[in-house]
Chains A and B, each alone.
Chain A
Amino acid sequence: MMWLSGGFIFRRGDSFYHRLDPRAKLLNSVLMFTTTLLARSIFEMVLVILFMVGLSAAATVLKRVARTMAFTALFSGFIFVVNVLFTRDLETSVLYAIRFIAIVVSTSIFFITTSPDELEQVMKMFRLPRDVVFAFVTAVRFIPVMMLDTIQIMDAQKSRGLELEKGNLIRRVRNMIPILIPLVVNSVMRSGELAEAMEARAYGAVPRPTSLLVYRATRADVGVVCAAVALFAIAAYSFYFVVPVRFP
């Protein structure tokens, strides 16, 4: 799971891509995603991947994207083998294998460059209820806090003689109970305090709260989206009207 989370967790960055409007980043990732589904030749797929690699480099996240790609390659290798066995078509098999990598990368780019704050804005844009959006925000906000809690509880229980790494599978699962109970109790108490603090700061006072952040499309937003649209158009054109565009 670590590779998966590593490829999808936001870390602060200061590239042009990080600064893009979150809506542009979402649109761009959706376009790249669909383009990979439409691409019917290795050439088209390579174009999409090159575009994504270029973006990642410009967003200074190439290293992390490359790591995601390397890990995904294990799965895509499996996809390739299965496809070769069943279709006996080498090109299609390669295409499917690369497509899997491309799909993961297209979503990964969105998540690693979009802060939870921006995700919240995107959710608001989709008119999700305020309570749902806020639940998401606090969940993300308290992940690091609960991780620290867990470490503290584990240390406390270990110091009282709890041996986490001992015994068979069932025993090990049972060993987690003294960790989980305090963690749950802690969280319930925390949620009570959170509710009080929310009331004290007028949560839910007006039906349509305002927002400190405002996003306006800039030239960079338009540029990135246009490039993705162009790529999408090539793939869509070749998908509907002509034979796949292959290497010249």
Chain B
Amino acid sequence: MADILRVEGLSFRYPDSPKSAVSDFELSIPEGEIVVLAGPSGCGKSTLLRAVNGLIPHMYGGEYSGDVLVAGSSVKSSNMRDLAQTVGFLFQNPENQIFMFSVERDVAFGLENLGVPREEMRARVDEALRLLRIGDLAQRAPHELSDGQKQRVALAGVLAMRPKLVILDEPTSLLDPKTASELVALVAKLRGELGTTFVVVEHRLDLLVEVADRLVVMDGGRKVLEGTPMDVLFDNEAEAHGVAIPAVAKVQRLLAEREAGKAAAAKLLTPSALALAVEGRLT
């Protein structure tokens, strides 16, 4: 399948900063993948994301080299209007991306800005509300919503624009564990139903590794590891780059150290898979 996103040797330095936030970054993502981007705070994740949806270089000045191609066209030469329709961006704090006084108006915000005719807008808003199962909240005001609901509303507003690529910037950071795992399930469901590509920046890897196709680890503005979640999480380097290794993987590593590699060979990522494997040994 064609690559929806290609980052080609991207480097970017903010005007007042002595060193580059992102250096020589290479990445290509085929359509329909769920890619998780991990790494310590300040490693350049946010800068990279802003370069993908065009905020860099269209809103932020700075030293820019290399190129970012979204659906085949260069972000540098595309305008924000076209980019907004290809790349959806869910920012970390949903509060600051809900503008309107009612949920349905907010979901329609991007479509209104694009001048979408009313009938089509109605249909797309209803579809987005249905996908995120928030139809019953349509008339609510933002201050009447919980954090999890706000997150869904903000995501609905992004999806209503029917982007091919959706960026989620730490989507679970403000959510309780139950709501967080619901959101992850939702991402997997949307990828299945709409074929949307997702790039997710996340620290809580235990939730996402089950649905992710690929894990990319960044550190100091560079890509340091890339591969399937299994390969990356069982790589000894991952922890050194500040990646939170899920407990399931940690247990296996400890077992492997004790028993010379028997459990490590399996590389299991879910608690249920590990339970099955352990059960066999216990009896």
Contact between B101 and A210, CB atoms less than 8 A apart: no
- Separation in Å of the B202 CB from the closest CB of chain A? 19
Contacts A138-B99, A193-B96: A211 and B118 contacting too (C-beta < 8 A)?
yes
Contact between A117 and B100, CB atoms less than 8 A apart: yes
Contacts A115-B101, A137-B100, A200-B84: A210 and B142 contacting too (C-beta < 8 A)?
no
**Does A206 touch B at the CB level, under 8 Å?**
yes
Contact between A193 and B115, CB atoms less than 8 A apart: no
CB contact between B121 and one of A134, A145, A210 (< 8 Å): that residue: A210
**Chain A 68-104: CB-based contact to B (< 8 A → 1; otherwise 0):** 0000000000000000000000000000000000000
- Separation in Å of the B72 CB from the closest CB of chain A? 20
- Separation in Å of the A84 CB from the closest CB of chain B? 45
Contact between A198 and B99, CB atoms less than 8 A apart: yes
Residue ranges of A at the interface with B (Cβ–Cβ < 8 Å): 12, 115-117, 120, 134, 137-138, 140-141, 144-145, 190, 193-206, 208-214
**Does B80 touch A at the CB level, under 8 Å?**
yes
Q: B82-99: which have CB < 8 Å to A?
A: 84-85, 87-89, 91, 93, 95-99
**Does B236 touch A at the CB level, under 8 Å?**
no
| Contact residues of B: prevailing secondary structure | helix
- Separation in Å of the A215 CB from the closest CB of chain B? 12
Contact between A201 and B161, CB atoms less than 8 A apart: yes
- Separation in Å of the A146 CB from the closest CB of chain B? 11
Contact between B118 and A196, CB atoms less than 8 A apart: no
Measured in the bound complex, the distance between the Cα atoms of B84 and A201 in whole Å is 6
Contact between B99 and A199, CB atoms less than 8 A apart: no
Residue ranges of B at the interface with A (Cβ–Cβ < 8 Å): 50, 53-55, 58-59, 80-81, 84-85, 87-89, 91, 93, 95-102, 104-105, 108-118, 121-122, 125, 141-143, 157-158, 161
- Separation in Å of the B156 CB from the closest CB of chain A? 12
Measured in the bound complex, the distance between the Cα atoms of B109 and A195 in whole Å is 14
Measured in the bound complex, the distance between the Cα atoms of B84 and A206 in whole Å is 13
Contacts A115-B101, A137-B101, A200-B84: A206 and B55 contacting too (C-beta < 8 A)?
no
CB contact between A199 and one of B59, B93, B98, B161 (< 8 Å): that residue: B59
Contact between A209 and B93, CB atoms less than 8 A apart: no
Contact between A141 and B100, CB atoms less than 8 A apart: yes
CB contact between A202 and one of B84, B96, B99 (< 8 Å): that residue: B84
Q: Taking A194-B97, A201-B157, A212-B108 as given, write out 17 further A-B residue pairs in contact, using a Cβ cutoff of 8 Å, ordered by the A residue number.
A: A12-B141, A115-B101, A140-B101, A141-B99, A193-B96, A197-B91, A199-B84, A200-B97, A201-B97, A202-B80, A203-B113, A205-B80, A208-B115, A210-B111, A210-B112, A210-B117, A211-B112
A138: nearest residue on chain B (CB-CB)? B99
Contact between A205 and B104, CB atoms less than 8 A apart: no
Contact between A210 and B118, CB atoms less than 8 A apart: yes
Chain B residues with Cβ under 8 A from A115's Cβ?
A: 101-102
B58: nearest residue on chain A (CB-CB)? A199
Measured in the bound complex, the distance between the Cα atoms of B55 and A115 in whole Å is 33
Contact between A202 and B81, CB atoms less than 8 A apart: yes
Measured in the bound complex, the distance between the Cα atoms of B115 and A204 in whole Å is 10
Chain B residues with Cβ under 8 A from A145's Cβ?
A: 95, 142-143
